Structure 1
Amino acid sequence: MAQGAKKTPLFARPRTWIIAMLAVAVAGFAISIELSRIHYFTHTDPGYNAICALNDKVNCEQVARSPYAVFLFMPISWWGLAAYLALATIAAAAGRVGRRHRGFGAGILFVAALLSVVVAGILAWISHFIIQSLCLFCMSLYFVNLILLVAAALLLRALRQNPVAAVVADVRHLLRQPALIALFAAVALIPSALVAWKLPVYWQHLGWKELPELPAGIDPNGAHWIGATDPVLTIYEFSDYQCPYCRFAHKSARTMITAHADKVRLVHKHFPVDAACNETVRTTFHDRACEFALAAECASQQDQFWAMNDALFAIQDRVRPDKIDPVYLAEQLGLDMPRFRACLTSAEPLARIRQNVDEGIHRKVRGTPTFFIGAQPYAGGFSPEVLRNALQVYEAMSQDRAAP
């Protein structure tokens, strides 16, 4: 450097922003790994509780369970892994190739960062307005994408290039370097293709209409049951029809007991987290849960409890609770409508719901869903292994009682 020449400030050096983008892309990759882990366990472990599942409004599990968490046969988080890996590779190549070809990669990085912000905006809109729940780790990626865009813009500024000219220069350079094109394509496409090919489709579950039909009835205490007519093991489920956790956990429990349909019975107990019928609720939470429970009880008068149970849960896969009309569901089930409407205003079904709530309070139910296998509570759900172990214990107890 000539004597008296000014040293280029750190923030005016292109290399500073290339390194920044590389570091931020690595951070995005790490967050995507955690999101992939959450997505997997949310769909495969009914008892899993993610650290980011705070409530109905801020709940990464609820977002992970939505159909919007998968795009083109692969979880969004896996697309994120591929995208951040590709960005990191481009940034690393820009730092290396840029020593000989000043400015290489700046245009591609800017376009990629801009697209990532657009995608983040779309996903944020879906999360807020359609799923109606936010994911903290997803929001951190939105912030990562914004930082990438700012760093890409500052890189162009340091190079004194406009975005269009930078993109044109990058394309021209790539056309002269087919090896680089092959490298970027391999990084972006091969891992995604391998994952799509090898990854089990763990996020696909039986639809509500695909659940096997099982014997069902009402026990001597007036509780609705499904499963074994002469059970070895009885599981009690305290549930809320407006609770997204309950929707997933109930379907999971129904699927599990199908494998032991001659030995295991599932008994439904209402526990709406709604002040209209639950005195333990002090604030507005699931403001239609009591109404939905009432609809299920009134359907039971026409031997359609489980049909209404499934309809109430199923419709919430695509319709917000505030848009659901239980009367419409009753019509779709073919119920006697004058009888159903009369039941909705009668005291008897509401009394049964409150009786279930009182039982839940006595059993110290703190949230929904809560399952009881014997005296042991399982908040959120239980795994197939828990069911198998409990069944072995109860079968052994049954054999001991039968022994002379």
Structure 2
Amino acid sequence: MTDLFTSNIAIIERRWPIVAATIKSQSINHLDSHLVQGQNQTISVNGIQLSSRHDRMAEVNLNIDQLPSHSHIVHLYGLGLGDLPRELLLSYPLEKLNVTLLNVAITQLVLSYTDQTDWLSNPKCELHLATPESTLILPFITSSAELVLADDDGAVLRNKILIHYQTLFAARSHQTQDPQILARFQQNTALVQQDDDVSELYLVPRQQVIVVGAGPSLEAALSQLECISKRKNRPLIIAVDTALKPLLQNGIRPNIVVSIDADINETHLLPTQSAGINLVYFPRLSSEVLIRWQGKRFVAYGKHALYDSLRAIKHHDTLYTGGSVLHPAVDLAVKMQAKEVFLIGCDLSFPNNKTHTCWADGELNMHIASQASHQWVLNNQGKKVTTSLSFISYIDALEAYIRVHPNTVFHTTSTLGAKIKGCQHMDIKNLRSKL
């Protein structure tokens, strides 16, 4: 224990005793840390610098400039080297600064080798521990280093921060109409006018609906799903587009396929094998693929203003979009008045180090090797499973959808896939006996 740590922790013990006890309980022996000297000095932890070694204050000011003007209450996620809270409290007219620690061991390291007593003593400052239940509150800034280095308790909050940034980026990218998508809309004008509306599928209520994704766990469920699909009074089966290939290869013909992505083509939709299968599509798909579909086609829109040009041509109902084709597939099941929705192959993660069933690594523009090791979620066994930032945002959107549909019971059959709040686990064998 250093003299600096003793001085720093004394203030924390006086003001936030629970936070102090947690910090003191940590070990820093597992951290690969050392000083890095440039124009400024910083600390490197596990290969990540906690601040710039060239111009720490320029980095701080760049970060603070992200805040809306006249921000009187600010939330800071991640301590870094303490430059951000110090500058915010000493130089900005804040009423309150909430500092949430994303990695407690790194906090102990920083408190051991740097003096943080000035801002820790400031009555405007409040110190918090990140927990899996922590919420993201605006306006905020964050230590970019600790977004990578967040510990297990800070990982959920880290994910929420990354999703927030991703959403902002996506919103900016949609501020102007995508000329390629608008060209697709123009190509599909005749189809939009002649094809049926997705709402026609709502007319026949369904008590139980199976929604099939192409996640790695689908492979182990195919034999059971095949038996279910052969029953005379089988439940309705809705498949996402990338799940159609493994289903057909195993003699399973879904009732409905949902497709929304402009990159989906005949390799995924297999139109020559589509007789008798309904296709629910967003008009972003290639008209050549749509025309070749042998079953009935139903048009759906997203709620985004991007679809306003099509709404002016002909009204079609909207399906929920949260970034993945899984979301409109689930929304379709609910709008068909399903009392129970069973998710099969909807892993939203990479169990067994695979991305999808039936598709090789990279075939669906997703590579295991490119996934950051710090991006993970808990599966239905309570174990960590690697995922992607996109999948994390899809989980978040699906959980939000489930929360506002309390009259529908959601089940997932995979123990290896991501745990989805509000979704009960049911073994595929039990599902077969239930249906």
Relative to the length of structure 1, the TM-score reads 0.22
The structure in which a higher percent of residues are strand is 2
The structure in which a higher percent of residues are helix is 1
For the pair shown, the structure with the greater C-alpha radius of gyration is 1
Relative to the length of structure 2, the TM-score reads 0.21
